């Protein structure tokens, strides 16, 4: 957790030292799956392609999935594409700078694919209960503001599906609908 905050601070310092490029076009962020932050984290990076107003995103995360009589951990990765249709947002710096470059702020739509692997154990028996591979695909709509220097706050909602496979072969694969809600804080550089 501290390492992720250190990366964000380092990027902020890098942004402040680059006076030749007035507006940031790439970003990193940290998302926590719970308010206390003790159950895991996800870090993400976004590369902006100004000509298409397209953000290309990669994420890596890990989290605790069970507690009490059971213990579980999951790790995963995701890829996402976001199209920013306006390039401006309330409480944000101007949409484009002196050189006319676009920014990845405001409303966006996109799609996300992710893959995760989770493992669950029975604490009392120290017995492995199973490993599950999950594949997901989602359509997203979201909004990003950049209220101060390179700081970003991004919220999104999505609708899609998740397909789970029991790697131990005890259960058949199954697919379910899913709704996602996300909020992250990051830094553009």
Q: Percent of the chain at pLDDT above 90?
A: 38
d(CA 185, CA 152): 6
CATH of residue 168's domain is 2.40.160
Radius of gyration of the chain (CA): 19
Per mean pLDDT, which of 35-39, 50-54, 175-179 is the most reliable? 175-179
Q: Left if phi > 0, otherwise alpha if psi is -120 to 50, otherwise beta: which for 126?
A: left
E-strand spans in 20-126?
26-31, 40-49, 54-66, 70-84, 106-122
> What is the dihedral sign for C-alpha 12, 13, 19, 25?
negative
**Alpha-carbon distances of 99 from 15, 23, 103, 113, rounded to whole Å:** 17, 9, 12, 34
Q: Enter the pTM of the model.
A: 0.77
What are the pLDDT digits (tens) for 58-83?
999 998 887 778 888 999 999 999 99
d(CA 85, CA 104): 9
d(CA 107, CA 95): 12
pLDDT in the model for residue 143: 93
d(CA 146, CA 105): 7
Per mean pLDDT, which of 9-23, 32-46, 77-91, 117-131 is the most reliable? 117-131
**How many domains is the chain partitioned into structurally?**
1
Whether pLDDT at 21 is above 70: no
pLDDT in the model for residue 19: 42
Which residues, 6 or more positions from 51, have their beta carbon under 8 angstroms from its beta carbon? none
137 phi and psi angles, rounded to 5 deg: -140, 135
Domain with 131, as residue range(s), is 2-188
pLDDT in the model for residue 98: 41
Residue of 120 and 94 predicted with greater confidence: 120
What are the pLDDT digits (tens) for 147-178?
887 788 999 999 999 999 999 888 899 999 99
């Amino acid at each position: 957790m501290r390492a992720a905050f250190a990366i964000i601070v380092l990027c902020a310092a890098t942004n402040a030292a680059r006076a030749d490029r007035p507006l940031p076009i790439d970003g990193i962020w940290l998302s926590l799956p719970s308010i206390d932050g003790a159950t895991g984290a996800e870090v993400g990076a976004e590369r902006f392609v100004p000509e298409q107003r397209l953000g290309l995103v990669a994420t890596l995360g890990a989290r605790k999935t069970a507690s009490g009589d059971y213990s579980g951990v999951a790790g995963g990765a995701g890829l996402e594409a976001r199209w920013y249709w306006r390039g401006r947002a309330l409480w944000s710096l101007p949409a484009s700078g002196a050189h006319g470059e676009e920014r990845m702020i405001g409303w966006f739509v996109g799609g996300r694919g992710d893959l995760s692997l989770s493992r669950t154990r029975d604490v009392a028996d120290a017995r492995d209960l199973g490993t599950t591979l999950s594949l997901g695909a989602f359509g997203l709509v979201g909004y990003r503001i950049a209220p101060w220097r390179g700081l970003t706050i991004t919220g999104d909602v999505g609708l899609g599906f998740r397909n789970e496979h029991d790697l131990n072969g005890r259960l058949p694969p199954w697919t379910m609908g899913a709704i996602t809600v996300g909020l992250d804080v990051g830094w553009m550089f």
